[in-house]
Structure 1
């Protein structure tokens, strides 16, 4: 099983279905035996990344891109299971499994990166006329500027075929409604935007005391990142992690939503010993600025020093 069995991330993109007007991609569960066993957790987890995506849609897209061939290479030098061209991978490739390398040939990186890139496109194309899911897929195939230029799916045979094939195949990967999980509670607009801000900082080097300003070259420490993320949406947090603990109510572990702050402490009975904070993105993962020498990244929250969570509130 993959190192990270999880990132419902989101959340990371922005909200749950309906918050930002996304078309939604399905009921959230895969049909049994529709995806190779070794990729089920990856697709199920990352397929819930944003309102426009679903596990079934992500599976249909990978089926179309490579037929689940992790070593596929096209005549245009699209590489790996998700068929990234090198330039796109350089910008959107993630080290999602935390092994220190963003590897286009590793499905544990490439499948999450495909979801992340799709949701980035979806966010960029919101407001373009037409179906937001179709526009997202068209952007993946033809580039977002073609979708913007033509006000929807561009009149390219390849792109129109790509969208049609994936939308049709999506149905075969979708579990019947009776098998689907209950709909998850959407995060607030503020939480969604805070998560999006944190996602935009992925790969930024850590800086002790960093607030992300010009004097810090855009770098953050852990609580500097969380403070800046919520500052973007008008919620003022204290500067240090153990003070941020008191910035709102404390949801239980099974009540976490994307955007919640998650805390880690030396003494699990004393909030004064909190030493680290991240922004929860779903599926047992957070985005955090971990320590000197590291970069802002995804990390699991299920560790022995997990202290609890806070849901920031205005005022």
Structure 2
């Protein structure tokens, strides 16, 4: 038996929207979501939703069984008797949920070192097997797996705390300073710690921010001038602390690889699946959705600066 679904942190303390989860399953989701840094309660819940819709007796056309949809061979290796009834059964919610968390943690280690978002790689391994992730050096080009990873990302936002999403005071300040610039024009090469300014090239004659200067400005003022980030998005994505998407909090930076290679666009996470950024020439500082198909399809990097 792995622990027990008794006293522990409240759902809100772990960033979980308990109202979306059947009461009898919530304690196990909370416990499984704390097994390692690679998982969170919201991610565990999102997987269950996508795998079975919370049906303990679900059986897939290929024979995957239970709430967390384990194939017999995988269950034989990883299945645990979490509720202590003497049998490890994939149709028993406690057993399935705790085995899911245990297996997720193992997958995260198995795909460590492969280029890409660690959480996305772990999810791809859950769907397609870690061998496929290793063979392709990233998320396999299987439509089912790619759709699965995208779906989990959307559901994590739904199962996380929304309007009261936790975060640091510093992160809240970053968000506040960025939001104060909503509607300011995009200016290529414009902006900096001092605020909007005229850019150059296609930004000449436009007073505003580009993507990286907006992030630089917000972080600089949130830190009372103590943190001056590099000027360009590629460099901003190499400083601070890397965080997995499942642990993203308001005020964290999201770097996007829009055109291949390295990060070439960056914004600030607001919570509830939204981010604020300065998108492009002709646009303004605005709020966008992370599950927008354009942004959801691009490689991402997540950074925390304070």
TM-score (normalizing by structure 2): 0.50
**Maintained 8 Å contact 1:6/1:45:** no
2:151 corresponds to: 165
1:82 corresponds to: 68
Alignment partner for residue 52 of structure 2, among 44, 54, 66? 66
Q: Deviations over 1:162-192 (max 9, x none)?
A: 000001111000014846499xxxxxxxxxx
Task: Give the greater-gyration-radius structure (CA).
Answer: 2
Alignment partner for residue 97 of structure 1, among 83, 92, 97? 83
1:123 corresponds to: 109
Could you say what secondary structure the match of 2:77 adopts? helix
1:107 corresponds to: 93
1:5 aligns with 2:5: yes
**Maintained 8 Å contact 2:14/2:41:** yes
**Maintained 8 Å contact 1:29/1:181:** no
2:238 corresponds to: none
User: 1:27: Cα distance to partner?
Assistant: 7.8
**Maintained 8 Å contact 2:42/2:160:** yes
- After superposition, the Cα gap between the structure-2 partners of 1:36 and 1:151, relative to the gap in structure 1 and judged at 3 Å, is same
- How many residue pairs get matched? 164
For 1:56 and 1:110, the matched residues in 2 are separated by 16
TM-score (normalizing by structure 1): 0.49
For 1:131 and 1:34, the matched residues in 2 are separated by 26
Alignment partner for residue 138 of structure 2, among 143, 152, 155? 152
Task: Name structure 1 gaps, 5 residues minimum.
Answer: 9-25, 183-315
Could you say what secondary structure the match of 1:38 adopts? coil
Summarize the alignment of residues 1-315 of structure 1 with structure 2, pairs less than 5 Å apart: 4-5=4-5, 28-176=14-162, 178=164, 180=166
**Maintained 8 Å contact 2:18/2:26:** no
For 1:147 and 1:130, the matched residues in 2 are separated by 11
Q: Deviations over 1:218-276 (max 9, x none)?
A: xxxxxxxxxxxxxxxxxxxxxxxxxxxxxxxxxxxxxxxxxxxxxxxxxxxxxxxxxxx
For 1:180 and 1:40, the matched residues in 2 are separated by 19
Pairwise CA RMSD of aligned residues? Answer: 2.5
Task: Name structure 2 gaps, 5 residues minimum.
Answer: 169-306
For 1:42 and 1:157, the matched residues in 2 are separated by 31
For 1:143 and 1:181, the matched residues in 2 are separated by 33
Larger relative contact order (C-alpha < 8 A, sep ≥ 6)? Answer: 1
Could you say what secondary structure the match of 1:77 adopts? coil
- After superposition, the Cα gap between the structure-2 partners of 1:7 and 1:123, relative to the gap in structure 1 and judged at 3 Å, is farther
